[in-house]
Structure 1
Amino acid sequence: MILSALLTSVGINLGLCFLFFTLYSILRKQPGNITVYAPRLVTEGKFQQGDHFNLEQLLPSASWVKKAWEPSEEELISKSGLDAFIFMRMFIFSLRVFSIGGIVGIFLLLPINYMGSQLSDHSDFQNKSLDSFSISNVNNGSNRLWIHFCAAYVFTGVVCYLLYYEYGHISSKRLAHFFSSEPLPHQFTILVRGIPVPPGSTCNETVERFFKEYHPSTYLSHSVIRRSNKLQSLINDAEKLYKKFAQIKDKSEASQRQRCDGCFGLFGHKVDRLERRLQDIEDNLRMEQSSLSAKEVPAAFVSFKSRFGAAIALNIQGVNPTEWITEKAPEPLDVHWPFFSESFIKRWIGKLVAIFACAALTILFFIPVAIVQGLTNLEQLETWFPFLKSILRMAVVSQVITGYLPSLILQLFLSVVPPSMIVLSSLQGYISWSQIQKSACTKVLWFTIWNIFFANVLSGSALYRVNVFLEPKEIPTILAEAVPAQASFFIAYVVTSGWTNIASELFQLLRFICNLKNRICSGESADELEAPSIPYHSEIPRILLFVLLGITYFFLAPLILPFLLVYFCWGYIIYRNQLLNVYVPKYDTGGEFWSKVHNSTIFSLVLMHVIAIGIFGLKKLPLASGLTIPLPILTLLFDDYCRKRFLPLFKDFPAECLIKKDRQDQNDPHLSEFYEKLTRAYDDPALMPKNYTGRNDSHASPLLHTSDV
């Protein structure tokens, strides 16, 4: 790619970004769009819509930037939880890393690369190939390469220091958040599976007998799980019908809804057809709920009187390790109830299906990757489509096709990956939505790294070396040949995918169109609004991919760094705005996503080191190549230290913290009320009474009482 093609891509995407910013600053002021741009404030009752009009509503402004900047870390944690705090620390960490890297790369490495003459590019500046700004242009054996060598060591030290600082800072925030929080049900509860129910007994009796015998002083209550996935499906269908009927009921006249309950609707008392239909739905659901009261699953949520008591019970193990299997309970609203209806063999099969499906999806994705790589090569396009040769040689067309279109096509194909990974993770039998999203996040991350980075690199210039992974000694050389050759594509990808995506996140085009359609066609009100939650499983891998590109190309093609800095600056402000106004936290893992950020960054550093070893070897500087070998070893040792120093704090809270927090709660006058709520916290919502018609009779009484479970 030549410089003018990159500038064309930058111009197109800058135009789109400022268009989105302008439209957002205008549309967010319109009363009808408040459910799009501030649904969280609407659902929390902090924003009242107004019908008055003034000219300021039609003028773009940047006042939202100041409002997004003002809240402190403590305010962000209190409003959106530790996961949102971790998410924003990713941007802060990236800005610090690439600000330092940008100073070294732009003001030191980039001029050295440009002054080289290895590529012999004598075209004018506008038509210069972007490879002229990469390490490929530095002459073989040049002593200037020692500057790149030193930069790699300095940059690695900076990244490791910042990683250590962030891990420590986040750990302290996690502990502080724990001590300042109110008693929460999941802190006092564990999940027990594989309960051995003896003949003639029930799961309910077995659980109560076991914990009263072995944990008599701390055991509080339990809730046995029942097979309710089919019932939950019926409830979902019923709620959809209820919403539909509610809209019809508001719009239609009472006389049009009423009919007689006698023969053919001609005789008898007049009744509301919608009311009668909803009553039938309630009765059917109640019958289904009653039939499930005896369908127990050998699993239960067991609650204790203290956090320390729950932690001790978490480590119980029966004579048979496949029985009395324990794990931490998720938050009550985070429980993925369909999991409990699956047997062990179904969960095992589900894991196998997920693995094979991920592999198949990864392989199939090579098709769009091949298309994208073909678009970056005009000569190949002319071979494929000879009748378009005259059009392809037009300056504007060639610049758009090579600079903008490949990244756009790749991004369109990538949009189907996150929802696919959510489906696959759901098949694996996780007990909570947070675990499903964490699993999907890992799948999307490694899918993205492989298919966006490695697949493009190998298909671009080293596809013929398919045996690269069978020759470990050749991996640095192959990557050293292939990775710099794709620098221009990834610079364009940051501009196209990064900038435009971050701006479209602010504009919320799809939600805006849906809101406009609903207002025009169905007239839905804000009372039915449900604020969305941020999709960590898709957003975190996207950000970490850009971190990977920045670290990998730091000394190979530092021209990428200013474009990354723009992306992270915009992302920091935009996502703060979205977390405060749009997204509502559905769960809080306590910052467990940070381990994925740390691991991905370590992987990026080691990958940079491997490429550096190969590059210095290709550039006829074997001494520098040999002296680079300690870098990945030192980085992995640092990673091992961080795992032992910080990771245990993210898996479980220390006993010291649990005991201190339990002692604090002893002075809480509301503790008895909390225990009462705790006994009902993990009741299956599918077994709760459903009252769509407002009847006040025995049909609305609870199906199961605490003593039943």
Structure 2
Amino acid sequence: MDIAALLTSAGVNIAVCVVLFSLYSVLRKQPSNVRVYFGRRVASRCSKSRDLCLERFVPSPTWVMKAWETTQDEMLSTGGLDAVVFSRMVVFSIRVFSVAAVICTTLVLPVNYYGRDRIHKNIPFESLEVFTIENVIEGSRWLWAHCLALYIITLTACSLLYCEYKSITNLRLVHITASSPNPSHFTILVRGIPWSSEQLYCDTVKKFFAFYHAQTYLSHQIVYKSGTFQKLKDDTEYMCKMLSGSCGSMELPCKPSFTQCYFCGGSTNSFKIISNDIDSMHGRTSYTDLHTNARKKECAAAFVFFKSRYAALTVAQNLQTSNPMLWVTDLAPEPPDVYWANLCIPYRQLWIRKISIFVASVTFVLVFLIPVTFAQGLTQLDKLERMFPFLAGTLQKKFVMQLVTGYLPSAILVLFLYAVPPVMMLFSTVEGSVSRSGRKRSACTKFLYFTIWNVFFVNVFAGSVISQLAVFSSITELPAQLAKAVPVQATFFTTYVLSSGWASLAFETMQLYPLFCNLFQRFILGYKEDTMNGNLTFPYHTEVPRILLFGFLGFTCSILAPLILPFLLFYFVLAYFVYRNQILNVYIRKYDSGGQLWPLAHNTTVFSLLFAQVIALGVFGLKQSPVASGFTIPLLICTILFNQYCRQRFLPVFQRNATQVLIDMDRRDERCGRMDQIYEQVQSAYCQATHSTQSECFSSHQGDREHVRTPEELETGKEISQKDLSWPPVLRSLSLDNSVLGGK
């Protein structure tokens, strides 16, 4: 590939970005698209406007300025600590690759370009390999420049990593101590409750904790089988009982159900109270029926509440019985973070699920080799002409050749990769995560490994001389073989940054799927009111792996092919504005993991540094530079020691809560006399029925009775008081009172 092909790919992606960003700046001003581009803001207020002005149809960069002016405190209050951590990942990348771009373009790039005596062509017709380390002759004394650049990049990255890790650790501690009393600090999740033929799980839990933790045990809440099918089944049973009771002697073929509500600590709703009254009138409910139906609905899991944070922490971290498969205790997720569907999975089944998911993931990776190999084959025109002889004439045209080699391979790979995140999310769900944030973190890790393997290693192996080797003669030759292959494929990675980076950010701002749904509902179905829910959460499982993958490519190719760094730096700068805008306006925060994504980012960055150093060691060996090789080995050792120090110093704060912090919080609440109030809040926080249905309804429609605002007023905070909008059709069809909707 030559510079002209790279510029063709850059030109296509720049054109796509300019068109989409301009279109976005116009569409976001239209009142009909408020719920698409201001989904987070309409969660607390509704927006609507029918005024017409020319400014609404003129592109403007106001959203960029708003994203630039937003402070970290505003990001923290809007998107939570997870959003701040993600923003810090992007800022870290901008800082480290700014240094890398300056060093490598001024020091390494000239050495690569003039590293061999040859007649250079005009820059547009130069091959990209001329700008890589492949152009440096063996035994060159100028390889010290590459070693020096590697040292500067590593020292800069480690210094920034340490500062970021320390800062985010402090933010996490503030997140724990400064927030209002968190019910999860007083609660543990118990799984693997022993089965008993004589008593319910509810009685078993109470008996166990009241006996072994009598001083600190407060109460408990059993988890019941839920899910769409179970809810429909329960509602059908209740309706049948109501109808059978109202028909007197007419008996309907409906099986009585467990009519007492244990979902919310003994509270009942009106629907179940009616069922109880009818059953008591006709004398149909017996103790045996209640016991049998209760056992059918109970799961071997429960939330157990304690009188202090320290007591909950102690019980969660200790082994309860001599059988580690019974009475398994962990700290409970926050109430909005609980993934109720997975709580009923038997604990003994989890290891089988994890093994099955591992096998399924490996199989999926192997199957994905087909599109990756196909995409990589497009970069080799000679093979393409042999496979498709009828395209020989077309492929000889200059523009077509540049388009096929410079744009299509990375674009095709990006299209195939769009199918991966839903699959990884499905795998993480089946794996059995009990929290929504944990499920998303698991999917994030799987997608990261998947993209690093398929985008980097498979492309390197499929498109280089390594693909012609059957096996490596020894593992020690791997750095040398990678050193041969990576510079050859660096051009593909550069075009991948353009296609998967720049263009993906433009599509992210457009929100194509919600936009098309909104247009379909308005112009095809004829809805006049805004019916978009606007309750999307930030897709950390797709965006975090993309950021970390680009960082991996940047570190790996920095001294081998420094031409990738300017394109990469521009991507991170653009991502800074785009993601901040989306967090402020589009995505809703439903839960907060407390910055748990940062350890993954730190570990991936350190792995990227180590991998870049290993490849550099192989390159210096191939180029017969013992001095550069000798100086690289201490850098490897120091990087490993730095990572080990960070793991010992900061990582435990993200894995466990500190006893000192929790005891201080307990004593502070006792001095203020708030413990009784906290106990009431804790025992009503984990309401299974509310969190699975009503809270989601509320989060989608709680702003439907607020003042009407325009898109510009949502950004500036100005308010125009107009008449309240009516409830959406979904809520109008439900008999929900204010206490249910407001959660009061």
TM-score interval, normalised by the smaller of the two chains = 0.7 to 0.9
What is the rounded CA distance, in whole Å, between the counterparts of 1:537 and 1:695 in structure 2?
Answer: 37
Instruction: Summarize the Cα distance change of 1:7–1:219 in structure 2 as closer, same or farther, 3 Å threshold.
Output: same
Cα displacement (A) at 1:683: 3.1
Instruction: Summarize the Cα distance change of 1:11–1:236 in structure 2 as closer, same or farther, 3 Å threshold.
Output: farther
Does the Cα contact within 8 Å between 1:227 and 1:292 map onto a contact in 2? no
Alignment match, 1:58: 57
Q: What CA deviation, in whole Å up to 9, does each residue of 1:647-706 have, x standing for no partner? A: 001111211111122223235566533322321222322899999966699xx999xxxx
Instruction: Summarize the Cα distance change of 1:466–1:609 in structure 2 as closer, same or farther, 3 Å threshold.
Output: farther
Alignment match, 2:203: 205
Name the SS of the counterpart of 2:301 in structure 1: strand
Alignment match, 1:113: 112
Name the SS of the counterpart of 1:301 in structure 2: strand
2:519 to 516, 539, 542: 516
1:674 to 669, 672, 678: 678
Does residue 656 of the first structure (1) align with residue 660 of the second (2)? yes
Which residue type is aligned with residue 298 of structure 1? Answer: A
What is the rounded CA distance, in whole Å, between the counterparts of 2:412 and 2:469 in structure 1?
Answer: 26
Structure 1 range deviating more: 650-659 or 214-223: 214-223
Which residue type is aligned with residue 483 of structure 2? Answer: A
Instruction: Summarize the Cα distance change of 1:235–1:638 in structure 2 as closer, same or farther, 3 Å threshold.
Output: farther
Does residue 189 of the first structure (1) align with residue 187 of the second (2)? yes
Cα displacement (A) at 1:364: 1.0
Cα displacement (A) at 1:186: 1.2
Does residue 215 of the first structure (1) align with residue 219 of the second (2)? no
What is the rounded CA distance, in whole Å, between the counterparts of 1:606 and 1:567 in structure 2?
Answer: 23
Structure 1 range deviating more: 525-534 or 685-694: 685-694
2:146 to 142, 148, 161: 148
Instruction: Summarize the Cα distance change of 1:145–1:586 in structure 2 as closer, same or farther, 3 Å threshold.
Output: same
What is the rounded CA distance, in whole Å, between the counterparts of 1:123 and 1:429 in structure 2?
Answer: 59
After TM superposition, list the pairs within 5 Å mapping 1:291-306 onto structure 2.
293-295=294-296, 296-306=298-308
Alignment match, 1:157: 155
Instruction: Summarize the Cα distance change of 1:429–1:596 in structure 2 as closer, same or farther, 3 Å threshold.
Output: same
Name the SS of the counterpart of 1:192 in structure 2: strand
What is the rounded CA distance, in whole Å, between the counterparts of 1:689 and 1:338 in structure 2?
Answer: 12
Alignment match, 2:367: 364
Alignment match, 1:128: 126
Does the Cα contact within 8 Å between 1:121 and 1:129 map onto a contact in 2? no
Name the SS of the counterpart of 1:543 in structure 2: helix
Q: What CA deviation, in whole Å up to 9, does each residue of 1:347-386 have, x standing for no partner? A: 3332222111100111111111111111111111111112
2:608 to 604, 608, 616: 604
1:440 to 433, 439, 443: 443
Does the Cα contact within 8 Å between 1:347 and 1:427 map onto a contact in 2? no
Does residue 168 of the first structure (1) align with residue 166 of the second (2)? yes
Does the Cα contact within 8 Å between 2:139 and 2:623 map onto a contact in 1? yes
Does the Cα contact within 8 Å between 1:689 and 1:701 map onto a contact in 2? no
Cα displacement (A) at 1:435: 1.2
What is the rounded CA distance, in whole Å, between the counterparts of 2:484 and 2:180 in structure 1?
Answer: 56
Cα displacement (A) at 1:117: 1.8
Alignment match, 2:421: 418
1:623 to 601, 623, 627: 627
Name the SS of the counterpart of 1:166 in structure 2: helix
Structure 1 range deviating more: 367-376 or 667-676: 667-676
Instruction: Summarize the Cα distance change of 1:694–1:237 in structure 2 as closer, same or farther, 3 Å threshold.
Output: closer
Q: What CA deviation, in whole Å up to 9, does each residue of 1:387-431 have, x standing for no partner? A: 211110101101111111111100010001111011111111111
Instruction: Summarize the Cα distance change of 1:452–1:466 in structure 2 as closer, same or farther, 3 Å threshold.
Output: farther
Cα displacement (A) at 1:12: 0.8
Name the SS of the counterpart of 2:468 in structure 1: coil
Does residue 538 of the first structure (1) align with residue 542 of the second (2)? yes
Does residue 568 of the first structure (1) align with residue 572 of the second (2)? yes
Structure 1 range deviating more: 54-63 or 298-307: 298-307
What is the rounded CA distance, in whole Å, between the counterparts of 1:689 and 1:353 in structure 2?
Answer: 31
Which residue type is aligned with residue 18 of structure 2? Answer: F
Alignment match, 2:284: none
Cα displacement (A) at 1:173: 0.9
Which residue type is aligned with residue 202 of structure 1? Answer: L
What is the rounded CA distance, in whole Å, between the counterparts of 1:492 and 1:701 in structure 2?
Answer: 55
Name the SS of the counterpart of 1:221 in structure 2: strand
Does the Cα contact within 8 Å between 2:340 and 2:692 map onto a contact in 1? no
Alignment match, 2:430: 427
Does the Cα contact within 8 Å between 1:404 and 1:496 map onto a contact in 2? yes
Q: What CA deviation, in whole Å up to 9, does each residue of 1:157-199 have, x standing for no partner? A: 1111111111001001111222210012112111011223455
After TM superposition, list the pairs within 5 Å mapping 1:387-402 onto structure 2.
387-402=390-405
After TM superposition, list the pairs within 5 Å mapping 1:251-330 onto structure 2.
293-295=294-296, 296-317=298-319, 318-330=321-333
What is the rounded CA distance, in whole Å, between the counterparts of 2:690 and 2:582 in structure 1?
Answer: 32
1:451 to 449, 454, 460: 454
1:348 to 326, 346, 351: 351
What is the rounded CA distance, in whole Å, between the counterparts of 1:236 and 1:563 in structure 2?
Answer: 57
What is the rounded CA distance, in whole Å, between the counterparts of 2:16 and 2:693 in structure 1?
Answer: 50
Instruction: Summarize the Cα distance change of 1:666–1:51 in structure 2 as closer, same or farther, 3 Å threshold.
Output: farther
Instruction: Summarize the Cα distance change of 1:693–1:122 in structure 2 as closer, same or farther, 3 Å threshold.
Output: closer
What is the rounded CA distance, in whole Å, between the counterparts of 1:689 and 1:561 in structure 2?
Answer: 48
Instruction: Summarize the Cα distance change of 1:199–1:512 in structure 2 as closer, same or farther, 3 Å threshold.
Output: closer
Which residue type is aligned with residue 100 of structure 1? Answer: V
Q: What CA deviation, in whole Å up to 9, does each residue of 1:542-592 have, x standing for no partner? A: 110000000001100111111011100010011001001000112211101
Cα displacement (A) at 1:456: 0.2
Alignment match, 1:254: none
Does the Cα contact within 8 Å between 1:134 and 1:557 map onto a contact in 2? yes
Cα displacement (A) at 1:126: 1.3
TM-score norm. by structure 2 comes to 0.84
What is the rounded CA distance, in whole Å, between the counterparts of 1:367 and 1:205 in structure 2?
Answer: 55
What is the rounded CA distance, in whole Å, between the counterparts of 2:170 and 2:326 in structure 1?
Answer: 36
Instruction: Summarize the Cα distance change of 1:598–1:27 in structure 2 as closer, same or farther, 3 Å threshold.
Output: same
Does the Cα contact within 8 Å between 2:192 and 2:348 map onto a contact in 1? no
Instruction: Summarize the Cα distance change of 1:688–1:412 in structure 2 as closer, same or farther, 3 Å threshold.
Output: closer
What is the rounded CA distance, in whole Å, between the counterparts of 2:597 and 2:349 in structure 1?
Answer: 28
What is the rounded CA distance, in whole Å, between the counterparts of 1:692 and 1:227 in structure 2?
Answer: 28
Instruction: Summarize the Cα distance change of 1:235–1:598 in structure 2 as closer, same or farther, 3 Å threshold.
Output: farther
In structure 2, the gaps of 5 or more residues are: 237-246, 248-270, 280-288, 695-730
Cα displacement (A) at 1:228: 2.4
What is the rounded CA distance, in whole Å, between the counterparts of 2:531 and 2:561 in structure 1?
Answer: 52
Does the Cα contact within 8 Å between 2:35 and 2:532 map onto a contact in 1? no
What is the rounded CA distance, in whole Å, between the counterparts of 1:95 and 1:689 in structure 2?
Answer: 41
What is the rounded CA distance, in whole Å, between the counterparts of 2:112 and 2:733 in structure 1?
Answer: 74
Cα displacement (A) at 1:153: 1.6
What is the rounded CA distance, in whole Å, between the counterparts of 2:554 and 2:736 in structure 1?
Answer: 63
Alignment match, 1:83: 82
Does residue 494 of the first structure (1) align with residue 493 of the second (2)? no
Instruction: Summarize the Cα distance change of 1:688–1:398 in structure 2 as closer, same or farther, 3 Å threshold.
Output: closer
What is the rounded CA distance, in whole Å, between the counterparts of 1:525 and 1:366 in structure 2?
Answer: 46
Name the SS of the counterpart of 2:645 in structure 1: helix
Q: What CA deviation, in whole Å up to 9, does each residue of 1:442-481 have, x standing for no partner? A: 110001100000000011111123423x721111111001
Instruction: Summarize the Cα distance change of 1:692–1:298 in structure 2 as closer, same or farther, 3 Å threshold.
Output: farther
What is the rounded CA distance, in whole Å, between the counterparts of 1:93 and 1:40 in structure 2?
Answer: 26
TM-score norm. by structure 1 comes to 0.88
Cα displacement (A) at 1:323: 1.7
Structure 1 range deviating more: 96-105 or 149-158: 149-158
Does the Cα contact within 8 Å between 1:228 and 1:292 map onto a contact in 2? no
Does the Cα contact within 8 Å between 2:147 and 2:628 map onto a contact in 1? yes
What is the rounded CA distance, in whole Å, between the counterparts of 1:466 and 1:669 in structure 2?
Answer: 72
What is the rounded CA distance, in whole Å, between the counterparts of 2:167 and 2:234 in structure 1?
Answer: 42
Alignment match, 1:96: 95
Q: What CA deviation, in whole Å up to 9, does each residue of 1:521-555 have, x standing for no partner? A: 33174366142001111111111000000000110
Alignment match, 1:268: none
Which residue type is aligned with residue 23 of structure 1? Answer: L
Does the Cα contact within 8 Å between 2:518 and 2:532 map onto a contact in 1? no
